[in-house]
Chains A and B, each alone.
Chain A
Amino acid sequence: MTQATTAYQKPIPLKDIDNAPYWDAADQHQLALQKCDDCHAYSQPPGPTCAKCGSGNVSWEQLGDDIKATVYSYVVSYRPFLPGFQDELPTIIALAQLDNVPEVKIMGNILNCQEKDLEIGMPIQMTWVDITEDRALLQWIPVTN
């Protein structure tokens, strides 16, 4: 699902020295995760060093664009606490547990989902929404058979 919007009001993810590879990959509709070369733990969100062992030997693993997960937890938000969300209430905010890397959980909105259908453990799939000309945001949609 890709949709270009002209006036995106919501916060745009800030790229910084530690997370830029993640958001650069997202802009290309890909998932990249930071991994420690010493203890082999993933760091999500990424950081300057491995948050499990403190090693500075971290690198990036490309996981591609076919990312499946299940809902680990969620919140249904009925009030907008940030600009841009006022027109899309309620907002579903979920923590997604990756099928292939279950130790990693990634937050996102679940799009195209009715509140009544939402439950912990439900299968979801990563998607990307183009939010500006050169930026894209990782999001989730329910898996439909």
Chain B
Amino acid sequence: MGTIKDRYAIVGVGESERSRKSGTTPLHLALDAAHAAIKDAGLKPTDIDGFMNYNEGDSCTSHQLATYLGVRPKYVKDIQGGGASTEMLIADAVALIEAGQLNTVLIYRSMNGSSGTRVGRGYDPDMLQGALSGGSFVIPYGSASPSQWFGMYATRHMHETGITKEHLGHVCLSFYEHAQRNPKAFLHGKPLTMENYLATPDISSPFNIHDSCLELDEGNAIIVTSAEKAKDCTSKPVYIMGMAARQCHPHAHYWNDIDQVASDYVAEELYENAGVTPDDIDVASIYDCFSWVVMRQLEAYGFAKRGEVGDFVAEGNLKIGGKLPTNTAGGMLSEGYTHGMNNAIEIVRQLRHDYEGTDRQVEDCKIGICTGWAGPDIAGAMILRN
């Protein structure tokens, strides 16, 4: 996909209110997010001819959303997916626009992630034994929550690299600090100290509640179009320099190989497509379903060498003012959680310099990275510029 460099852009972003109990349906939340993104782009709903979403059986369909926007679209697509799906669907949208099938695509993720289906509570055991590859070798042992699955990877990686619980705490503290600058962050007004972090009991080692993403009711939307069509929008376009949309972990049975993650494979292709190196990145959104997942990706995407990631975060490099300001709205640990899309929205806003004149703006940032992680086996990422 190297040939797409700078020829496609994100021209609109928007979100609904976020809460623990929306009192409404994912369709309403999706409509709120879509209206906000369309307004942000300066478009009319009928300018959108493609609608896409990812869900885990917990959302409305693209067809429903288009219907209630008063649009008869050319194309709708609903995929089963979690983290990394934002990047995958943006890649699909670019491919369809490139093929001349569509002009402008709205991608959304809407969920009652707190009051409805809640991932962190674990999944139905009988469903999982059949659906998860090798499920019957995992579920009978009580392992049914992402905190337990990723914890197994984290414990081994921390053992090998010397990353400590306190290092994980620095990831949390950095993002919580950003949330204190973002009035719309769910944990705005709830700062975190290392003392409090370390005193909080684990849910599944090595993770406590602060290491885990918030589960909220929320809808997000992003609009993608060609650089040519972006000129018709009132927003400042953020151009896609490169993407690496999907890579599977080399093993079908990932419980037998917890040392590799898909991000290791995505990184090389991503930088090659975008024509930049990690040193060129000014601002980052790193998928943060758990604090450790950020650490492992910082290593995979070349921001710190293996064995040095702990020091990198302890030095404050993830904070605004650090070497790699990351998850500057608070991330999924403290702003909100839509399986990654809220982090993608934030990177767009940073690159547009929407926060100019405030302490939230990463000064003079030009190039940003946004990564997704759908478990160790699937990853996606994109590099954007203003």
Contacts and interface: CB of A to CB of B under 8 A. Distances in A.
B140 A78 contact: no
B136 to A, nearest CB: 4
Nearest to B150: A75
A12 B129 CA distance: 9
Nearest to A104: B256
Nearest to A88: B142
Interface string A77-111: 11111111100000101010000000011111100
Given A47-B253, A79-B204, A81-B121, A107 B153 contact: no
B191 interface: no
Interface in B198-215: 201-205
B148 A75 contact: yes
Interface centre among B130, B145, B256 (most CB of A within 10 A): B256
Contact of B201 (A44, A72, A78, A95): A78
Interface in B232-257: 251-253, 255-256
Nearest to A105: B256
B322 interface: no
Contacts of B69: none
A78 B202 contact: yes
A70 B141 CA distance: 18
A34 to B, nearest CB: 11
Given A14-B130, A44-B256, A107-B141, A75 B136 contact: no
Interface string B141-163: 11111001001110110010000
B1 to A, nearest CB: 27
B201 A82 contact: no
A114 to B, nearest CB: 14
Contacts of A45: 133-134, 136-137, 253, 255-256
Nearest to A42: B256
A51 interface: yes
Interface in A1-26: 10-16, 19, 23
Nearest to A79: B203
Contacts of A141: none
A81 B148 contact: yes
A93 B152 contact: yes
A143 interface: no
A14 B131 CA distance: 12
Contacts of A79: 145, 203-204
Query: Which among B141, B202, B253 has the highest number of chain A CB atoms within 10 Å?
Result: B141
A43 interface: yes
B162 to A, nearest CB: 13
Contact of A75 (B152, B252, B253, B255): B152
Given A44-B256, A83-B125, A14 B136 contact: yes
A13 B125 CA distance: 10
Point out which of B140, B202, B251, B255 has the most chain A C-beta atoms below 10 A from its C-beta. B140
B152 A80 contact: no
B142 A80 contact: yes
B129 A11 contact: yes
B314 interface: no
A62 B299 CA distance: 40
A51 B251 CA distance: 7
Given A14-B126, A95-B152, 16 more contacts: A14-B129, A16-B136, A44-B253, A45-B256, A72-B258, A73-B152, A73-B156, A75-B205, A77-B145, A80-B142, A81-B121, A81-B145, A93-B142, A105-B255, A107-B141, A120-B159
What 3 pairs between A and B have smallest CB-CB spacing? A45-B134, A81-B122, A73-B156
10 contacts: A14-B130, A45-B136, A51-B253, A73-B156, A74-B205, A78-B205, A82-B142, A93-B142, A105-B256, A120-B159
